[in-house]
Structure 1
Amino acid sequence: MTEFEKHKKELRARAMKLPLHPGVYLMHDKSGKIIYIGKAKALKNRVSQYFGSDKNHDEKVRQMVAHVDWFEYILTDSEFEALVLECSLIKQHTPKYNILLKDDKGYSYIRVSKGPWPRISEAKQIADDGAEYIGPYVSGWSVKQSVEAAQKIFRLPTCNRVFPRDIGKGRPCLNYYIKQCCAPCRGKISEEEYREAVQDAINFLRGGSAESVRELTRRMEEAAEKLEFERAARIRDYLAAIKKTAERQKVVCSKIPEQDVIAMTQGSGKTCFQVFRFENGRLTDRETFFINGTGMPKAVRGEFLERYYSMRDRIPPRVTLDGPAEGQELLSRWLSEKAGRKVTITVPQKGEQAKLADMCRNNAAEQLAQATGRTGREASALDELARLLGLPEPPAYIESYDISNLAGEENVAGMVVFENGRPLRSAYRRFKIKTVVGQDDYASMREVIARRLEEYEKNKDSGEGFGRLPDLILLDGGKGHVAAVQPILDAAGYNIPLFGMVKDDRHRTRAIAKNGGEIAINSNRSAFTLISTIQDEVHRFAIGYHRQLRKKSTISSTLLSIEGVGPVRAKALLKRFRTVAAIGDADLQELIETPGITEPAARNIYNYFHPESKDD
């Protein structure tokens, strides 16, 4: 027994002496620093779990346990008091292994530069540069969206050209041709008209679209009455652009006036949370948080809610989640007391709220994809698959197997690998079935998985190819295949999720098979597409290998039927001529010149393909 195992056993013995009482526990490292703080309904049960089997622990917990030197605890009167104390202590000590969110919510401003051709932009702070600053605003995302909308509506330039210096010195950019810039660079607008457009944009940003629409409508009618049709047409275009922007904003709206929508996605050792904040039924702010490591979604979601609202004063009456959170009722009570009114935490299953949660999760997947070098579609598919199969985190490394034979002849298997949702062809492997005679797909699959695990034991030090264990195994078959193979994994002591891929009568993916039943996947579009792709790929790979062997077998049987031609000479002929057809077209001299082929053997080969020449 190693020193670590001895120490872990001592810590577990001490944990078993803790009371079955609510409280907070604090884990310390050798230097005495607090590295983790948690709460518990029953301290004995919760703390002892850390120092038992690490089979069900995620990587973050295993690392934390490895650094624990000792722990202490504080008893509380209730689990709710434990939650409040835990939040306070985490804020005070910022332990390494707790989720810690950086609160970078500073103020943002709208900047209007000075000079005859002013520009509108966003700014994080006020500078002493003579420019006009509008604000402050709490939401930087909202300021950015508003400035971009104003620039497009009123066709203000966003390039780096300086006016009037650069007027007439270059061709207008693409924005001019798609009617998103008034092109001062080409003199398409006068200085007076430009300043009027900038002032309209400022009024739009200060007063909102409704106020701008009323004022612009009044000015358009006034210009029309004065027969200033060009000016009236320009204002009409502004109004049309405002209306179009408003229609786009309605796509992201909520019937519930004030709420937060929170969703998460995991993958490649990271977790991404996306927060959509709604006020007056409109999306007013959006925040993205990245957390190193992954874990059980329910626990991670609960911990995130604690950390997020510990650093937020504004708490909406409703929090919508994309999945259940650990201690959801307790968190709802804590938020209610913090806000001074009832706060409801919900996990919608259908309707508008479910669509908002899905949209939020898709945005989280896209952000995570950009951070990890994947596409949003791949991240979303793996995240959806993990939820569907109940996996602790999205499977980054998937292996899939299929058996192929013809009435038991040329019995083979194919293994394909998908890494981060993409085929990893360098890791594909082929197997010739050795121990199964006849057609027995269950026994063949058992042999393949057993051989694959044996290869892992031989190569595990390399961490590549067979030296890497998959996060998920998918078999081309139903629950019978799963039931046949599961004992192989259990006997070897590997806790690898195992599922089957079930096809319908038309050979299309229909469901996921597990021990004792099936999981329908048709309603999960991203996961369905991924599973279908994997199933088609492994079937293609396995049947391709089977056909290759059958073709070789047919060729070999043709050549071996010729008198004087054995396996060595057949191989020599195929090496030189590549195909049986080319051997048949060769003349006698070419056959004699083939290494290893004697003249009598060459005559037999030639006569076999040219029976009419035997008499000659």
Structure 2
Amino acid sequence: MDEHRRHIRELRARAMRLPLLPGVYLMHDKTGKIIYIGKAKALKNRVSQYFGSERHHDRKVRQMVANVEYFEYIITDSEFEALVLECSLIKQHTPKYNILLKDDKGYHYIRITREEWPRISQAKQVLDDGATYLGPYVSSWATKESVDETLKIFRLPSCTRRFPQDIKKARPCLNYYIKQCCAPCRGEISCKEYNEIVNEAVEFLRGGSGNSVRTLTERMNEAAEALEFERAARIRDRLEAVKKIRERQKVVAVRVPEQDVIALAQGPSNACFEVFRFQQGRLCDRESFLLSDIGDPKAARAEFLERYYGMRDRIPPRISLDGPAASMELIARWLSEKAGRKVTLSLPQRGEQKELLEMCRSNAAEQVAQSTGRTGRETSALDELARLLGLDKPPAYIESYDISNLAGGENVAGMVVFEDGRPLKSAYRKFSIQSVQGQDDYASMQEVITRRFQEYFRQKDSGEGFGRKPDLILLDGGKGHVAAVRPVLESMGLGDIPLFGMVKDDKHRTRAIALDGGEISIHSHRAAFTLVGAIQEEVHRFAIGYHRQKRRKAVIGSSLLEIPGVGPTRAKALLRHFQTISAIQNADLAELEGAPHMTKPAARAVYAYYHPEEKAALDKESGLMG
């Protein structure tokens, strides 16, 4: 460890000797391999930051710095030249700690087999197999969507059965029963009619929904005039399916003819950039890029833009982002020069563009969820909460606290834990307030937080239970609770833990999130609102449940203390042994005598207290024995 610290100090000393000029820096590991490339407006300031205090670094940067053996740099005439050089060097060296995107863009085709019963499918290359190929298409997503929609509209089979070999050999699959397949396997559709449907499907793929609507309408009318009503009805059904597809396409049609929409969703350990590409006002392609820990979102967006458009020929005139990126003006200039026309980076705050970004972010969240086994809703909620509170990344481990008492009596607190957006009941804890008399919620909360993090320092090596540091603390209360607890955390060296309050309205529902200086409304943030509301309800339920349990035991205990010879210790022992007052009432004398901490006189007293009709007999027996 001392050797590592000495090495970091040496690197910092060298960094402090760098010029205050723009340029590119290259970090190398022990083998000499480049592991990170970055640009800077002032090399000295930027590079020296890496070798300063680790407290200001995220996990990704800490890992990178731990592997740096030495660095080199290249001075440029401007920050813009540094950006261009950085993009070129990253493409050349693909450093481990830069955001690297796999370019899976190739050509894709739609294949129509040439056989008695033709089939339509997606293909990645043209083979010399006699089939007809439509394309090439750049987007694999668009190609797959087109094939899937066509098969559903025209009710063509997507299974692996072969015709006519498999006709009438087995029951049709589910697609037939949900009216998504004409089921040639049933043997009720002729080869001629099947081929007519395939031809219509190919026309749809070649000409689009507009041409298909006109063609199908004409054929439907012709069939009706020829009194072929069954055929007309089948064409009508296909026509309706095409129209539905057109309506669905309108949902993602926008006023801006050509643009890209880019959104970021973060999970506890990974993240996803989603790109929606629009041409002629319609969604024509989408891409998802699942990445490991990305660190600072602003820096990550900038890196993503550089990498993504560094490997794309088409750059639209407008790119909508769901959040700010570092060096936006610089990147916009680079994109404009690369595209040969002005490119605008925008951050929509309302209207159609904002809705598009939300849809894009939901899809990114779904990709993150698929990789973690969580739901897209849970991932979206955590990501939205992080954005709302200004956190670097979604809080994977959230602790929430609530105080419960009645007129200052039986002061208790409850702590609940949500891990990855779900309750972690094994980590719930109860606190009986010890240092506060009367109703003082602020002082009670201070005691609870103090005790909880005293346990953290005792158990932190385990990394479990109290030994785990939360990513976020939510107090059931307003800014007063936050102001009372903040100094406690800071005095324990834990001021970096995000701390907020949960404010309720007059109907006891979550209204806002409180911080030291005010409140953040969360009504317009649906996913975060739902999550925080669930946390607040759960911690309140848990705390008040413990309070009721304590009060019930107190009442029970007080009734036992009325019995001669039964003090607090013996009352607790009886309750622990019999569990309930009812069980004590129903116990016979021998069972009471056999209970822990009980003597025969005490057992007789308890039995007589609950069986007054037998008290005289017990007293007489006790007198004879005496």
- Normalising by structure 1, we get a TM-score of 0.97
Letter in 2 for 1:602: A
Match of 1:500 in 2: 501
Q: Is the 8 A contact 2:290 2:367 kept in 1?
A: no
1:582 offset after TM fit, Å? 3.3
Helix, strand or coil for the counterpart of 1:354? helix
Match of 1:602 in 2: 603
Helix, strand or coil for the counterpart of 1:411? strand
Against the structure 1 CA distance between its residues 590 and 20, is the aligned structure 2 distance closer, same or farther, given a 3 Å change threshold? closer
Which string of whole-angstrom CA distances, capped at 9 and with x for unpartnered residues, describes residues 255-284 of structure 1? 111100000111121110100000111111
1:445-460 → structure 2 map (5 Å cutoff): 445-460=445-460
1:341 offset after TM fit, Å? 0.6
Helix, strand or coil for the counterpart of 2:56? coil
Q: Is 1:284 matched with 2:284? A: yes
Q: Is 1:358 matched with 2:349? A: no
Against the structure 1 CA distance between its residues 65 and 121, is the aligned structure 2 distance closer, same or farther, given a 3 Å change threshold? same
**Identity fraction in percent:** 72
1:321 offset after TM fit, Å? 0.8
Q: Distance in 2 between matches of 1:595 and 1:86?
A: 77
1:255-294 → structure 2 map (5 Å cutoff): 255-294=255-294
Q: Is 1:573 matched with 2:574? A: yes
Q: Is the 8 A contact 1:21 1:43 kept in 2?
A: yes
1:530 offset after TM fit, Å? 0.4
Which string of whole-angstrom CA distances, capped at 9 and with x for unpartnered residues, describes residues 438-471 of structure 1? 2221122112112221211111111111111011
Q: Distance in 2 between matches of 1:52 and 1:598?
A: 70
Q: Distance in 2 between matches of 1:411 and 1:432?
A: 6
Q: Is the 8 A contact 1:36 1:98 kept in 2?
A: yes
1:479 offset after TM fit, Å? 0.9
Match of 1:529 in 2: 530
Q: Distance in 1 between matches of 2:8 and 2:597?
A: 69
Match of 2:418 in 1: 418
Instruction: Answer with 538-547 or 434-443: which moved more.
Output: 434-443
1:216 offset after TM fit, Å? 2.2
Match of 2:213 in 1: 213
Match of 2:551 in 1: 550
1:159 offset after TM fit, Å? 1.6
Match of 2:327 in 1: 327
Instruction: Answer with 364-373 or 440-449: which moved more.
Output: 440-449
Q: Distance in 1 between matches of 2:198 and 2:54?
A: 63
Against the structure 1 CA distance between its residues 593 and 417, is the aligned structure 2 distance closer, same or farther, given a 3 Å change threshold? closer
1:596 offset after TM fit, Å? 4.8
1:231 offset after TM fit, Å? 2.3
Match of 1:433 in 2: 433
Letter in 1 for 2:557: S
1:434 offset after TM fit, Å? 2.1
Q: Distance in 2 between matches of 1:187 and 1:61?
A: 64
Match of 1:186 in 2: 186
1:611 offset after TM fit, Å? 4.1
Structure 2 gaps of 5+ residues are 618-626
Q: Distance in 1 between matches of 2:255 and 2:146?
A: 22
1:90 offset after TM fit, Å? 0.7
Match of 2:11 in 1: 11
Match of 1:398 in 2: 398
The CA RMSD over aligned residues, in Å, is 1.6
Q: Distance in 1 between matches of 2:4 and 2:204?
A: 65
Q: Is the 8 A contact 1:277 1:286 kept in 2?
A: yes
1:398 offset after TM fit, Å? 0.5
Helix, strand or coil for the counterpart of 1:55? helix
Q: Is 1:235 matched with 2:235? A: yes
Q: Size of the alignment, in residue pairs?
A: 616
Match of 1:67 in 2: 67
Q: Distance in 1 between matches of 2:284 and 2:468?
A: 45
Instruction: Answer with 274-283 or 449-458: which moved more.
Output: 449-458
Letter in 1 for 2:538: E
Against the structure 1 CA distance between its residues 597 and 463, is the aligned structure 2 distance closer, same or farther, given a 3 Å change threshold? closer
Match of 1:113 in 2: 113
1:535 offset after TM fit, Å? 0.7
Helix, strand or coil for the counterpart of 1:261? strand
Q: Distance in 2 between matches of 1:251 and 1:347?
A: 21
Q: Distance in 1 between matches of 2:357 and 2:70?
A: 41
Q: Distance in 2 between matches of 1:615 and 1:149?
A: 90
Instruction: Answer with 288-297 or 272-281: which moved more.
Output: 288-297
Letter in 1 for 2:499: L
Q: Distance in 1 between matches of 2:91 and 2:590?
A: 90
1:588 offset after TM fit, Å? 4.5
Q: Distance in 2 between matches of 1:243 and 1:563?
A: 87
Q: Is the 8 A contact 1:403 1:441 kept in 2?
A: yes
Q: Distance in 2 between matches of 1:592 and 1:5?
A: 68
Helix, strand or coil for the counterpart of 1:111? strand
Q: Distance in 2 between matches of 1:484 and 1:272?
A: 38
Q: Is the 8 A contact 1:275 1:286 kept in 2?
A: yes
Q: Distance in 2 between matches of 1:24 and 1:296?
A: 19
Against the structure 1 CA distance between its residues 233 and 595, is the aligned structure 2 distance closer, same or farther, given a 3 Å change threshold? closer
1:171 offset after TM fit, Å? 2.0
Letter in 2 for 1:106: G
Q: Distance in 2 between matches of 1:192 and 1:186?
A: 15
Q: Is the 8 A contact 1:267 1:294 kept in 2?
A: no
Q: Distance in 2 between matches of 1:384 and 1:549?
A: 38
Q: Is the 8 A contact 1:268 1:372 kept in 2?
A: no
Instruction: Answer with 391-400 or 120-129: which moved more.
Output: 120-129
